[in-house]
Amino acid sequence: MTYKIAIAELKQESNTSAAPTTIEDFESFHLFYDEESIYQMRSTNSEISGFLQVLEGDQVEIHPVMATFAVSGGPVERKTFDELTSHLVAKLSEIENLDGLLLALHGALVTADFPDGDAEILRRIREAIGADIPISVTMDLHANLTQQKVELVRTISGFHTCPHVDLRETGIRAANLLLGIIKKNIFPKMHLVKLPLVIPASKHLDFEPGIYKDILDFAYLKKWQGVLDISIFTVQPWLDIADLGCAVLVIADSDPHISQKVSNQIAQNIWMRRTELTSVNLLEPRIALVEAFAFSSGPVVLSDLADGTMAGSPGDSPVVLKELIEMQPTKKVYVSIADPVFVEGIKGLQIGSHIDSKIGATWGAKYYEPIEISGELISLSDASFKFSQRSYSGMRIDMGLTAVVRIGNIYLVATSKPATTTDPAFYTAVGLDVHEAQIVIVKTHAGFRDGYRDIAKKFYLLKTPGMSSDDIPNLPYKNISRPIFPWDQDTNWSPIHL
């Protein structure tokens, strides 16, 4: 028997403090329709490539709908949200006798009208295709999982790794679950446990020994009888919305009591370690720079995570650059700023021209101020790169018109778009070899641990201002449900029916 299964991706991670995400932001990462989504995504490390790996090995008629993913940013503007969702729903409505849907969502998409944007996507799909067609969903480990999402689908499978290197594997898990449902080999029962807890993103490292790996190992390495799938969603913290918090989701075969019991035990283990999980070690930029310059060779990677472009921040902070200019380093340093105004202002200059200009704080003026720079224009071109690291391998990032400005031994990469800096390919795209630098500045919480794990001599996390700060107890949120840890240190909680 041949089954009709649709596959699609609609992903964005929102930061409620950032500028709105537009259709251009989706296009800058990727936006493919119909068969093009298979052609473009097949060889990438993505959930869709995992879907295909399973479905093409079975008797399945695959109906590709779309594949789109925007780099983390502000809430998705309503026009863009409606345009993408309407295309998805319309295409699904055209498929006769659909047997199932595999859908890659992020899980932390927000719009001004829908704090739970992914649930609204699912609600519209259900309205179009009915309640009986099974939907299996993949989500990022940083999803803000809600009961509404759970009730709209048959299964949800989250990434197990951070940095995220298991996108394809997560797609495989979801596809196998969906086929099992369609063939009536399994009867999934999901149970969600929501914790009043938010964990700083720089703690989300699954491959290094420590508290975070401990809680993942407890969940994923233990043999749980009757369990089909387990996901821990440690949530991205920069959502000032109600119902923010970590979650545990367990899927058992046929027996809801098993999924409830196991999810409660995993959640209780996380809650018992909450103080360790929320303790972060951030260094002042000057202290970290001095230590990094003291190394005999580089590169030493410093993360300005509060301006993390994979966390929705604009990438326009000049705070670390200001420190570097004052230090006048004698060793080579690479640093970046996203500033389309600056790049537009110099695009008519010849290579080798001297530049005196302000830069930075195009969007983040609430957190820092622009600074004056004086340097030489080394290059100016449209730039892009493909991820060479394992996470998102094969996907392309558009940096926009990009300038390289040399300020003594500081090489400043000024992009028109807030492109991710997790991968050494970011600097390679403009002719800079990270192996030649003493210090490389990145703007990310965890992703650089994948891209630079075999290159960096040392990693430092910086204490800087910005809209993706890991100093989460001091984030000025107004809409989160209280009490919640670590904002409220005396929060009492325990799972029901442990």
Per-residue pLDDT of the chain (498 residues), as tens digits, is: 799 999 999 999 999 999 999 999 999 899 999 999 999 999 999 999 999 999 998 899 999 999 999 989 999 999 999 999 999 999 999 999 999 999 999 999 999 999 999 999 999 999 999 999 999 999 999 999 999 999 999 999 999 999 899 999 999 999 999 999 999 999 999 999 999 999 999 999 888 889 999 999 999 999 999 999 999 999 999 999 999 999 999 999 999 999 999 999 999 999 999 999 999 999 999 999 999 999 999 999 999 999 999 899 999 999 999 999 999 999 999 999 999 999 999 999 999 999 999 999 999 999 999 999 999 999 999 999 999 888 888 889 999 999 999 999 999 999 999 989 999 999 999 999 999 999 999 999 988 888 898 999 999 999 999 999 999 998 889 999 999 999 999 999 998 765
143 shares its domain with 258: yes
8 Å CB contact between 121 and 104: no
250 shares its domain with 311: no
- Secondary structure class of 435 (helix, strand, coil): helix
41 shares its domain with 132: yes
- Secondary structure class of 333 (helix, strand, coil): strand
Amino acid at 310: M
- Print burial letters for 322-339: b (CB count within 10 Å at least 16), e (below 16): bbbbebebeebbbbbbbb
Into how many domains does the chain fold?
Answer: 2
- What are the C-alpha distances in Å from 36 to residues 30, 42, 283, 384? 11, 10, 45, 20
431 shares its domain with 450: yes
Calpha distance 201→297 (Å, rounded):
29
74 shares its domain with 115: yes
From 233, 249, 277, the end of a domain falls on 277
Nearest to 193 by CA among 137, 246, 122: 246
Q: Is residue 343 part of a domain?
A: yes
8 Å CB contact between 334 and 429: no
Q: Is residue 223 part of a domain?
A: yes
Amino acid at 421: T
- Residue with the two structure tokens 């021209």: 353
- Written as six digits, the tokens of 45 are 């490390």
- Written as six digits, the tokens of 144 are 């803000």
Amino acid at 410: I
20 shares its domain with 74: yes
Nearest to 75 by CA among 38, 30, 108, 37: 108
From 241, 256, 277, the end of a domain falls on 277
pLDDT of residue 392: 86
Q: Is residue 16 part of a domain?
A: yes
For 102, phi and psi rounded to 5 degrees?
A: -105, 125
354 shares its domain with 462: yes
pLDDT of residue 205: 86
Amino acid at 20: P
pLDDT of residue 229: 98
373 shares its domain with 449: yes
Q: How many residues does the chain have?
A: 498
39 shares its domain with 12: yes
Q: Is residue 497 part of a domain?
A: no
In a 13 Å sphere around the CA of 318, the CA atoms on its Cβ side amount to: 21
| The 188-194 sheet, strands edge to edge | 188-194, 247-253, 227-233
pLDDT of residue 497: 60
- CA–CA–CA angle 117, 120, 123 (5° rounding): 155
203 shares its domain with 261: yes
The β-bridge partners of 193 are 248
Q: Is residue 205 part of a domain?
A: yes
Residue 89: CB atoms within 10 A of its CB come to 17
The β-bridge partners of 354 are 376
pLDDT of residue 498: 53
341 shares its domain with 406: yes
| CA 412 to centroid of chain Cα atoms | 25
For residue 257, the enclosing domain spans: 3-277
8 Å CB contact between 316 and 337: yes
The β-bridge partners of 69 are 11, 30
Q: Is residue 477 part of a domain?
A: no
257 shares its domain with 368: no
Cα Dmax for the chain: 70
Q: Is residue 484 part of a domain?
A: no
Calpha distance 393→284 (Å, rounded):
32
Gyration radius of the chain over CA positions: 23
Calpha distance 83→80 (Å, rounded):
5
8 Å CB contact between 14 and 108: yes
Q: Is residue 328 part of a domain?
A: yes
- Residue 476 buriedness (CB in 10 A; 0-12 / 13-18 / 19+): exposed
Amino acid at 465: P
The β-bridge partners of 413 are 336, 404
For residue 187, the domain's CATH number is: 3.40.50.2300
From 277, 305, 329, the end of a domain falls on 277
